[in-house]
Structure 1
Amino acid sequence: MQCPKCLNTMKEGYIYNTKMPIMWLPKDEMMPLTIFGRPQNSIMITKTPFLTKKKAVSFYCRSCKFIITPVLDLDA
């Protein structure tokens, strides 16, 4: 993948979670108190981990210190 900021090649890797799902939240929303909570305006990046770690494919630009992570399609 090419970095949208500097156009250098990004390195593929993963972001792992072990207890809570990884999600994007608007800055005025609070993180849920339990693993089952999901704020209305959240965007899920990984599912809730049950008995195993989950990982999200991510791309890292060493030049910009920029990470891109595609989000889950929960409707698929």
Structure 2
Amino acid sequence: MGGWFPQWHDRDLFARIAEPPARADRPIQVQVQVQVLSVPPDPKALEQLAAAGVEPAAVRVPRRGRGRVIAALTGG
């Protein structure tokens, strides 16, 4: 299994996720796991990634302060 780790802020992210199978001139023999990095802690972003077949995702959280991290992860 191979892996690809694009960043969330890539403007063409979802097109690029779908691109490799569409460009192949023969069936792909290797499974490639896509894990997107720097994803905002937003349920809608995670839902978009799940719909595109991305699992897992690395969520971006604040660098300091336990309260800020918990708030970012819980939407509070």
**Coarse TM-score class (shorter-chain normalised):** under 0.3
TM-score by structure 1 length? Answer: 0.21
Q: Which has the higher contact order (CA 8 A, sep 6+)?
A: 1
Which protein has the larger Cα radius of gyration, Structure 1 or Structure 2?
Answer: 2
TM-score by structure 2 length? Answer: 0.21
More strand by share: 1
